[in-house]
């Protein structure tokens, strides 16, 4: 637990930081959250709504439950998230390795990007596992 003095100091320091000031800085920072879109919940994509509902129903019937619950929906969403991540993974292989198999620099880039992607995949896998167990 932080002390009152520490909280006040943090607030004072935060006031000093007003973010990027130059136009270029502002332009760069406004796209910070839009690198790959993997942090956006897939359930918010209207194009996938019906597919997610359909899969949630199937998962529900697979576990012998009568009504679709929030966990079935969460599991279905996580499954579609995994499919999305796998597509990105294949496109990374295409761009950084199969485009030029004789360039080792591409492989270093590929490994860095794959390690980042693995984090999102791991999260989606544990979300799905938890939801399926709680269903």
| Residue 130 interacting with other proteins (CB under 8 A) | no
Residue 121: CB minimum distance to other proteins, A: 8
What the block records as the tokens of 39 is 């942090």
Stretch touching other proteins by CB under 8 A, among 1-9, 12-20, 28-36, 47-55: 47-55
Please give the full DSSP string across 82-94, using - where no structure is assigned: HHHHHHHHHHHHI
| Residue 58 interacting with other proteins (CB under 8 A) | yes
CA distances, 85 to each of 42, 50, 64, 116 (Å): 11, 20, 29, 11
| Residue 70 interacting with other proteins (CB under 8 A) | no
Q: 98-117 mask for other proteins (x: CB under 8 A)?
A: x--xx-x--xx--x--xx--
| Residue 119 interacting with other proteins (CB under 8 A) | no
Among 9, 25, 49, 94, binds other proteins (CB under 8 A): 94
Using alpha carbons only, give the angle 69, 71, 76 rounded to the nearest 5 degrees: 100
Give residue for tokens 């794959």.
114
| Residue 42 interacting with other proteins (CB under 8 A) | no
- Smallest CA-to-CA distance from 58 within 42, 78, 73 is with 73
């Amino acid at each position: 637990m932080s002390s009152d003095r520490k909280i006040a100091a943090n607030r004072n320091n935060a006031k000093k930081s007003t973010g990027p000031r130059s136009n270029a800085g502002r332009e760069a920072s406004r796209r910070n959250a839009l690198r790959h879109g993997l942090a956006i919940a897939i359930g918010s994509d209207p194009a996938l709504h019906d597919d997610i509902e359909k899969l949630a129903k199937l998962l529900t019937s697979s576990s012998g439950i009568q009504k679709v619950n929030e966990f079935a929906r969460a599991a279905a969403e996580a499954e579609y998230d995994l499919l999305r991540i796998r597509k990105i993974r294949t496109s990374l292989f295409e761009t950084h390795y199969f485009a030029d198999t004789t360039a080792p620099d591409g492989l270093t880039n590929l490994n860095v990007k794959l390690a980042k992607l693995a984090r999102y995949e791991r999260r989606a896998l544990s979300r799905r596992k938890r939801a399926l167990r709680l269903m």
